[in-house]
């Protein structure tokens, strides 16, 4: 059985990704920052604490995966946070910037580094070797939101992290993908739900509805399937057509 590590998978998009992979025969390691196991996570699911901002926590999760299952076939870098307080870019604090960048960008970069090293090691010992890395970015990578600049900057950085790892790992046979969710109905968008709902009703999206976590999860499954492997650093937009330029 192939093994998938999904960061930030106790709820929201990450939970939908982990659940769908599990339904498709992956052994999934669900992760989150809470010490206690999420109440709604079935007992048969594997849950492990992970704070991607912390180097020792990143190292521990890789040790746990290898010690428990002996392999890592898929890393999904989903863990991410929004600013605790939305503030104008002129008022953004270093504390908020460091927190968002540390989790969203630094965590993704260095966990990918650890995972990639292990995936390369496994190349010589696994007969069914075909690992992949999927980064969950955002349409905020290229869309200005002046009240959450630190988030936009972190997701723009994810785009370059994807390119760098794709460039390095493609010759080794490890595809790296990025999925950019748009307006997805999660806890993160709940504080501006009514605003986005009005915008969608006003024609913002060609596909006129909020995205669902499952919409993103299906794209992760497509990346994991092997059907998209003749690409390097491919970006998939899970955004209802937001990226489509229209007159």
Report, as residue numbers or ranges, the catalytic residues.
151
Phi, then psi, of 126 in degrees rounded to 5: -110, 125
Taking the CA atoms of the chain, what radius of gyration do you get in angstroms? 18
Distance CA 219, CA 225 (A): 10
What is the spatial distance between Cα 226 and Cα 173, in angstroms, rounded to a whole number? 11
- Name the DSSP letter for residue 30: E
CA distances from 242 to 61, 68, 127, 129, 237 (A): 35, 41, 41, 36, 8
User: Whole-angstrom Cα distance, residue 236 to residue 157?
Assistant: 16
Q: How far apart are CA 192 and CA 199, in angstroms?
A: 11
Nearest-angstrom CA–CA distance, 113 and 87 = 32
């Amino acid at each position: 059985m192939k093994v998938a590590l999904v960061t930030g998978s106790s709820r929201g998009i990450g939970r939908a990704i982990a659940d769908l992979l599990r339904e498709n025969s992956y052994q999934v390691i669900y992760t989150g920052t809470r010490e206690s196991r999420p109440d709604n996570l079935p007992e048969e699911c594997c849950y492990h604490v992970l704070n991607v901002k912390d180097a020792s926590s990143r190292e521990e999760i890789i040790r746990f995966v290898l010690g428990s299952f002996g392999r890592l076939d898929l890393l999904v870098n989903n863990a991410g946070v929004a600013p605790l307080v939305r503030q104008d870019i002129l008022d953004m604090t270093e504390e908020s910037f460091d927190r968002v960048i540390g989790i969203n960008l630094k965590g993704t970069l260095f966990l990918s580094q650890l995972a990639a090293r292990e995936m390369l090691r496994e190349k010589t010992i696994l007969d069914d070797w075909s690992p992949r890395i999927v980064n969950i970015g955002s349409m905020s990578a290229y869309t200005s939101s002046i009240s959450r600049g630190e988030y936009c900057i972190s997701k723009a950085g994810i785009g370059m992290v994807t390119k760098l790892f794709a460039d390095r790992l493609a010759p080794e046979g490890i595809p790296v993908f990025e999925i950019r969710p748009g307006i997805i109905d999660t806890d993160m968008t709940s504080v501006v739900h009514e605003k986005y709902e009005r915008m969608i009703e006003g024609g913002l999206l060609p596909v006129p509805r909020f995205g669902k976590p499952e919409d993103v999860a299906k794209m992760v499954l497509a990346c994991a399937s092997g059907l998209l492997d003749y690409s390097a650093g491919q970006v998939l937009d899970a955004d209802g057509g937001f990226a489509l330029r229209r007159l």
